[in-house]
């Protein structure tokens, strides 16, 4: 498939999603590229004499989320809340402990390595550190060519041609495909990693802190590139980041995660203007407001994040929440719909 046709295919998919929504009368029907139900990932922390886990780090503990075709879902939260583990479990780098992952309607929760190879033609992951995800002894063009070979492009000349196309698409010169990773700057290396992810024509890319290792000036360029590619190829993103300003800029909707669970999901602007969950309010109050005269106060979160080995009963945020009641300590709040596409798990609603 030529790059031009990939582009057309991507745009067609994004449009198809819109048509489906209109035909079925709007918000009721979704064309989801990804749906995750009750996802858990527990890591054994202490083992008994027989090597069986008796205590677990509950890094992800019952996550539900979905992403529509052509949509970017931002996933935010303090470090250690389970964002990256969620991303890695969705793409099956980690085996889920419980729950289900549906990708383009197919249940991929328990697929074996061979079947996952087919999934990786449509779903890719971009890591935080581009240097760590490239082999320092391999020319970057060969790293991309290898991906193309594994996914069925056996002709050497065709692979070189496609690698050059990908390089140009991510803003690099095609002559640079014969360089080694250390010959590039941090931003250029991340462009190489993006080119490698695009080599298989993915529909969904999980971006795990894709710009946090880069200088601020370079961050903007990479973010703009990701947004351009999304529009051009009809991509969907799960955008994991602790940088709230970046998430606000790139996301259509945002999910807020606390201690292994999603506590609030909402369209981006609604969440940033009127967060509902007390944790989201505190987290988002840290984003500087550039409007002159704005009197938004930064809310300070008291106390440490509790241990994911032994999370608090009831609402997990109750040990740090100024509104906590007895009910909060005893009963886990269900997720409630509190507006259009706006959900929160809090007894206040
Ligand atoms: Fe606070 Fe209770 Fe809401 Fe949890 S459920 S966020 S403790 S008010």
Region 260-271: mean pLDDT is 96
Q: For residue 18, what pLDDT is reported?
A: 46
pTM metric for this prediction = 0.87
Q: For residue 4, what pLDDT is reported?
A: 43
Mutate to test the pocket of ligand 1, among 259, 312, 346 (most ligand atoms within 8 A of CB): 346
Tokens standing for residue 111: 């697929």
pLDDT above 70: residue 214: yes
Kindly state whether residue 330 falls inside one of the protein's structural domains.
no
Instruction: Give the tens place of pLDDT for each residue, 4-24.
Output: 444 555 555 555 554 444 445
List the domain range (segments joined by +) for residue 159: 136-201
**Which long-range contacts does 111-117 make (Cβ < 8 Å, 24+ apart)?**
116/92, 117/150, 117/151
* CA 90 – CA 108 distance, rounded (Å): 9
Kindly state whether residue 15 falls inside one of the protein's structural domains.
yes
Pair (93, 234) in one structural domain: yes
Q: For residue 79, what pLDDT is reported?
A: 87
Name residues contacting ligand 1 (CB within 6 A).
277-278, 315, 317-318, 321, 323-324, 328, 333, 346-348
Bridge partner residues of 153 (DSSP): none
Pair (176, 274) in one structural domain: no
Number of domains in the chain: 2
Instruction: Pick the residue whose CA is nearest to atom 3 on ligand 1.
Output: 346
Whose tokens are 């941090």? That residue is: 186
Mutate to test the pocket of ligand 1, among 301, 313, 318, 338 (most ligand atoms within 8 A of CB): 318
Q: Which CATH number is 95's domain given? A: 3.40.50.300
How many angstroms is it from 110 CA to the middle of ligand 1? 35
| The last residue of a domain, from among 146, 167, 201 | 201
Lowest model confidence (mean pLDDT) among 12-21, 145-154, 191-200: 12-21
Q: Which residue spans within the chain are E strands per DSSP?
A: 32-47, 53-68, 72-76, 98-103, 106-107, 123-126, 204-208, 236-240, 253-258, 261-267, 335-339, 342-345
Pair (60, 142) in one structural domain: no
Instruction: Give the tens place of pLDDT for each residue, 319-338.
Output: 999 999 999 999 999 999 99
């Amino acid at each position: 498939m030529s790059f031009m046709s990939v582009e057309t295919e991507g745009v067609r998919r994004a449009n198809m999603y819109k048509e489906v929504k209109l035909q079925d009368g709007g918000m009721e029907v979704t064309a989801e590229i990804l749906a995750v139900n009750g996802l858990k990932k527990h890591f054994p922390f202490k083992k008994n004499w027989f090597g069986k886990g008796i205590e677990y780090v509950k890094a992800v503990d019952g996550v539900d989320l979905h992403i529509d075709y052509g949509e970017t879902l931002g996933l935010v939260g303090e470090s250690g809340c389970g964002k990256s583990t969620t991303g890695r479990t969705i793409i099956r780098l980690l085996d889920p402990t419980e729950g289900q992952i549906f990708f383009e309607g197919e249940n991929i929760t328990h697929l074996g390595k061979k079947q996952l190879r087919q999934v990786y033609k449509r779903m890719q992951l971009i890591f935080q550190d581009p240097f760590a995800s490239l082999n320092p002894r391999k020319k970057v063009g060969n790293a991309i060519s290898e991906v193309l070979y594994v996914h069925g492009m056996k002709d050497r000349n065709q692979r070189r041609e496609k690698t050059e196309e990908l390089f140009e698409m991510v803003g690099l010169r095609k002559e640079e495909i014969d360089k080694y990773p250390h010959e590039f700057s941090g931003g250029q290396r991340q462009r190489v990693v993006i080119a490698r992810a695009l080599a298989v024509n993915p529909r969904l890319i999980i971006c795990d802190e894709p710009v946090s290792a880069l200088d601020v000036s370079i961050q903007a360029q990479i973010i703009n590139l990701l947004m351009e590619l999304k529009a051009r190829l009809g991509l969907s993103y799960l955008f994991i980041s602790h940088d709230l300003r970046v998430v606000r800029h790139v996301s259509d909707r945002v999910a807020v995660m606390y201690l292994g669970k999603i506590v609030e999901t909402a369209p981006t602007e609604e969440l940033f203007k009127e967060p509902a969950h007390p944790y989201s309010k505190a987290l988002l109050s840290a984003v500087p407001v550039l409007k002159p005269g704005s009197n938004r106060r930064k809310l300070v979160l008291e106390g440490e994040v509790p241990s994911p080995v032994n999370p608090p009963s009831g609402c997990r945020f109750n040990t740090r929440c100024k509104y906590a009641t007895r009910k909060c300590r005893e009963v886990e709040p269900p997720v409630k719909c509190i507006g259009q596409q706006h959900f929160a798990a809090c007894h206040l609603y």
